Every structure is written in structure tokens, then in C-alpha cells.
Amino acid sequence: MKPVFITPSAQPSARWYQAFPDLQIIPTVKAYLTRVHRPGDGCWLDISPFDNDQAQSAIVALAAEDIRVMVLSYLPSEAEAYGMLSSGARGYCHAQAPPSQLQEVATAVMAGGYWMPPILLQRLVSAAIRIDSGPPIAIPQGFESLTEREHQVALEVGRGANNREIATTLAVSERTVKAHLTSIFDKLSLRDRVQLALLVNRLPVH
């Protein structure tokens, strides 16, 4: 699949062509969305013609279609990066980044990952740590009290499996799965599998 760049510029950067000789230019987001595209596709978005709000709207619209958006900025900044990423962008880099870096970004993002300048990620993480360090996170107490089998069942529930599927996966009867679940609910003081699924994924429950 050809790399797609959404940019109004008739004369796109030479670096882009160096990175992706077969790239395709689309002038607007609207044109891109009316064109053939599928969930999981990736696209580059040149945000230079937009202000911050317009850019974020564009990303949201693309992300809604499950398009992986890689943002190209001519004036990258930390604040801008956070804005773009929080709107759903998966990549953020300088529009004039070296071709090899552009290729890196594309590879990482198309593999399901994210890409941002390393320094940014570092700052992001340390910021989050500062913010997070105060309030103690509700840690799933007692998870280690589960037996191996119960642990396996819990993980399956955390992925959305129903009893029949778990039984098949673990090669036991549905009755056995139920027994493990009852034991898990008891040990972790949970009400039902929905709460378990959330807990397994470290999410707050009601």
C-alpha cells in the first residue's frame, strides 16, 4: 500500500519522496475520507495549513475511521505534540525529519506502536510519574492469592472470553470454569466477570 500524505502543498518536501518514492498526495482530509481507505490504514498529516483546533478535529475524524495518523509539523513543540497525540495521532515528528526517521515512524506506527521524539516520551513519562506518584493507585490486592489455574481463567475473562470459550481454551468443562470463577470472585471480592475483566486490566471499578 502506498504511503499517503495529506497536504495542500503542490510541492511537497523532497525528503518525503526520498523516504517514500511511491508516496501519494491528497490535498485535504475530506478528499482522503471520501477516497478508498480501510481501518488500520496509515496516513501522514501535514498540519501546517491548520490551527491547533482544526488539526485536532482532522485527527479525530481520521481516528474515528481507525486510520493511524502520523503528524508532520514544521514547528514542533511539546504542547503541540501532546495535543495531537491526545486527539488520537499515533505519530508526531518534524516535517523535515530525515527520510530514515520518517521510515522509522511509519514502521513503528504501522506495527501498532507510537512514535514521538525520544526526548518527548521521556518527558511524558516523567511528568506522568510526578502526577501519579501522589494518589495511591488502587492496586488489585490479592491477585497473587490466585492459583495458577484461576490466574489463567482471570486472564481469559480479561480478554472478553465467555465460559464456553475458556473451557475450550483450558480443555476443561464449563462447570470447572465456573468453579474457578466463583473462587476468584470470592478471593478478590468481586461481583461478576465484568468487574474481573476491568480489574485484570487495571481499570477502576464502579
Q: Rule CB under 8 A: which residues touch its own copies?
A: 39, 63-66, 75-79, 82-83, 85-86, 96, 101, 103-105, 107-109, 111-116, 119, 121-132, 137, 139-144, 155, 157, 159-162, 165, 191-195, 197-198, 201-206
Collect all residues with Cβ–Cβ distance below 8 Å to 184 and sequence separation of at least 6. Answer: 146, 150, 153, 154, 190, 196
Measured from the CB atom, the residue of 2 and 206 that comes closer to DNA is: 206
User: Which among 99, 62, 55 has a CA at the least distance from the CA of 81?
Assistant: 55
156 near DNA (CB under 7 A) = no
Q: Which of 136, 145, 138 is nearest to 188 (CA)?
A: 145
Burial of 11: CB neighbours in 10 Å, binned 0-12, 13-18, 19+: exposed
Q: Which is nearer to DNA, 4 or 190 (CB)?
A: 190
Site string for DNA, 182-201 (x = CB under 7 A): xx-xx-----xxx-------
Residue 86 or 147 with smaller CB distance to DNA: 147
Q: Which stretch binds DNA (CB under 7 A): 19-27, 93-101, 118-126, 176-184?
A: 176-184
Question: What is the nearest approach in angstroms of DNA to the Cβ of residue 166?
Answer: 8
Buried b (16+ CB within 10 A) or exposed e, 70-97: bbbbeebeeebbbbbbebbbbbbbebeb
Q: How many residues bind DNA (CB under 7 A)?
A: 24
